[in-house]
Amino acid sequence: MRQSVEEQSAKGQSPAPPHRGPGAGRVRRLAAKGRAAVVAVALLAVWPLAGTPASADTVPSRADVYRALGIGDQPADYVVLVDTSGSMAGGGRYSTVRSTLRPFLDGLSPRDHVALVTFDSRPEARYIGSAGNTDAIMARLPAAPDPGGETDIGAALETALRELERPGAPEIASVVLLTDGEHHPPGGSRYPKATGPAWDGLRTRAGAVGKRAELAGYALPLGSGATGAELLGSVVRDTSVMRPDSVQDLGAYLKRAGERIRARKAGLLLARDLGKGVTVSWADGAARDVTGGSATASVTFRSTTERVPLTISQVSAALGGASLGVGGLPSRITLRPGESKTYTVRLEGELPAGPLPYRRTEKAGAALRVSGRVTSDWEQALAPDVRLDVPGRVRTTGRDLPLRATVGSAAFLPALLAGVTAALLAVWLWWRRTNRPRLLGELLLAPAFGGALPDRIALSGRRVALRPRAGGRGTVHGRRRRTGDGPQVDLLIRYTPDGSADRESRATCGPGRQVVVNGVSFTYLPAQWADGLPSFTGRPQ
């Protein structure tokens, strides 16, 4: 059982908010769990709420929200249990109940279903039907309580549950109990005590109703003595015990109970909007050409709610994946439930040409990033009874926007090719100067162990083919190297005595030096050493 005791006067003071327990049932009751506690500010709201519609520049009142939701079109079940035992005649309690029930019933919607049940020694259904005719309902109440009547609260609650169990009952159900005495049933009652198997059965039945509908109880104990009003909380789990200081305060407390029920109606209607907010996406997926540094695109904001209006403030946008700016969005956007608004934005900037800025068509994807604070004017009006849980940020959906641009310079590739060619040429010239320098001077060839006169070969060009008179063949080319005395060209000699590659040998001969290759002596005479004798067996290549 969930109970809260209101011990403060209804005359201008705020009573402590009734404590509500966790609900049970289907997914649609998640909204009711979020409205766990209803404070006195909401309970003290005027019944029925009235007012003029809020303008676009003002925060709507709760009455405005209720009218927009069509609370009157949302049916609810009411079972009103009125104690007509003999003790109710004292202190004007019964006459006060009669007079204060009328404004309570006047505040109900014609689509609401009302069961008015009196109970003393036994319960009796006085009226069952639409709440649209208060006079007809009030006419069914007895003129006075039964002087000899007992107080069978258990039987009264059984009657209430029977009414709520009917097929096709609304999804919001309330039991209102008004009694001034303890449970004191007559002989033969199924509920001789305030506990027992019969009461366990009532709790089970109430739990079953709570799984189908959002069930709540409101117990109003009358008088200053002991009362059995709390027994409603032992059957209906979500029950608030409201204690007026005097029977004259009953009207104010009935108004508060009515306001709580209206808030529950609103919560049920808004349950499908819990956690819903605003999405944003590109309005189309066509590629934009930003070659000139700018382009236009369309952005669509959409409210995902069914009933709640939303506002986005401090709106700004940026692009992810592209170095462009976005402009043209208003700083504040208001959306009706389910509404979409499309805005044209400017994309400004250029796509990067990259490390090689040659002329080409560059492509990129622009991911939309929108920031802003999402709120609803209804949050303040409905708090704390109904929570909307509006996501505070705009959620981006859809694909990135394709972008393309012609980037780079048309002269870059020719300049690059020219530069590469010049570099390659420079490398080749350096290599040739080092590994194939021009040859000057003479090369003397003679048998290593004496004999015939030496062949005198003039060195010219960059490579010389050898054809000695003694036979064989070979080649000579130079290689430049640095020394302490400056650059020096050595000769790289290849020679085979029979012309076959298998017997070819190699040797390096410095200026003024002699080497022997395959039995032939090679002497390198630089240009300044040559004596001008003719050569006839060397041929430059």
63-75 pLDDT, tens digit each: 999 999 998 888 9
Sign of CA pseudo-dihedral 432, 434, 438, 442: negative
- pLDDT over 50 (residue 40): no
Task: Report, in angstroms and rounded to the nearest whole number, the Rg of the chain calculated over CA atoms.
Answer: 52
- pLDDT over 70 (residue 143): yes
pLDDT for position 397: 93
- The residue among 230, 223, 144, 244 whose CA lies nearest residue 195 is 230
3-state SS, one letter per residue, for 263-316: HHHHHHHHHHHCCCCEEEEECCCCCEECCCCEEEEEEEEEECCCCCCEEEEEEE
Which has more pLDDT, 43 or 475? 475
pLDDT for position 188: 92
Which has more pLDDT, 23 or 437? 437
pLDDT grade for 3, boundaries at 50, 70 and 90:
very low
pLDDT for position 224: 65
Residue 275 backbone class (left: φ over 0; alpha: ψ -120 to 50; beta: rest): left
- pLDDT over 60 (residue 52): no
Which has more pLDDT, 526 or 531? 526
- The residue among 100, 7, 92 whose CA lies nearest residue 47 is 100
Backbone angles phi, psi at 254, to 5 degrees: -65, -35
Contacts of residue 112, Cβ cutoff 8 Å, sequence gap at least 6: 75, 76, 77, 78, 130, 131, 170
pLDDT for position 221: 84
Most confident residue range from 2-11, 111-120, 451-460:
111-120
User: Burial of 400 by CB count in 10 Å (0-12 exposed, 13-18 middle, 19+ buried)?
Assistant: middle
DSSP 157: H
Pairing mode of beta strands 172-179, 77-83: parallel
Whole-angstrom CA distances from 401 to 192, 319, 398, 440 are: 75, 10, 9, 71
The C-alpha atoms of residue 13 and residue 262 are separated, in whole angstroms, by: 22
Which has more pLDDT, 42 or 430? 430
pLDDT for position 256: 81
Here the tokens at position 369 are 């990033």
Are 1 and 237 in contact, with CB atoms under 8 Å apart? yes
pLDDT grade for 330, boundaries at 50, 70 and 90:
very high
- The residue among 269, 262, 266 whose CA lies nearest residue 46 is 262
At what angle are helices 197-212 and 153-164 packed, to 10 degrees? 30
- The residue among 260, 249, 180, 189 whose CA lies nearest residue 218 is 260
447-496 pLDDT, tens digit each: 887 767 788 999 999 999 998 887 889 999 999 999 888 899 999 999 99
Here the tokens at position 165 are 């169990």
Poorest-pLDDT segment among 221-230, 292-301, 370-379: 221-230
Most confident residue range from 211-225, 276-290, 357-371:
276-290
**What's the half-sphere exposure (Cβ side, CA atoms, 13 Å) at 196?**
8
For 211-217, what is the mean pLDDT? 92
First to last CA, the chain: 114
CA 364 to chain centre: 24
The C-alpha atoms of residue 34 and residue 138 are separated, in whole angstroms, by: 35
pLDDT grade for 537, boundaries at 50, 70 and 90:
very low
172-189 pLDDT, tens digit each: 999 999 988 889 999 999
The C-alpha atoms of residue 21 and residue 238 are separated, in whole angstroms, by: 6
The C-alpha atoms of residue 250 and residue 224 are separated, in whole angstroms, by: 13
Backbone angles phi, psi at 112, to 5 degrees: -75, 150
- pLDDT over 80 (residue 295): yes
Poorest-pLDDT segment among 232-246, 289-303, 305-319, 481-495: 232-246
pLDDT for position 297: 95
pTM over 0.85: no
Poorest-pLDDT segment among 54-63, 152-161, 403-412: 54-63
Query: pLDDT exceeding 70 applies to what percent of the chain?
Result: 84
Are 217 and 175 in contact, with CB atoms under 8 Å apart? yes
Poorest-pLDDT segment among 191-200, 240-249, 345-354, 497-506: 240-249
The number of residues making up the chain comes to: 541
Poorest-pLDDT segment among 45-49, 154-158, 326-330, 339-343: 45-49
The mean of the pLDDT values for the chain is 83
Here the tokens at position 173 are 């159900």
Most confident residue range from 54-68, 238-252, 333-347:
333-347
Which has more pLDDT, 228 or 335? 335
- The residue among 35, 31, 34, 41 whose CA lies nearest residue 61 is 41
pLDDT for position 226: 55
- pLDDT over 90 (residue 524): yes
- pLDDT over 50 (residue 39): no
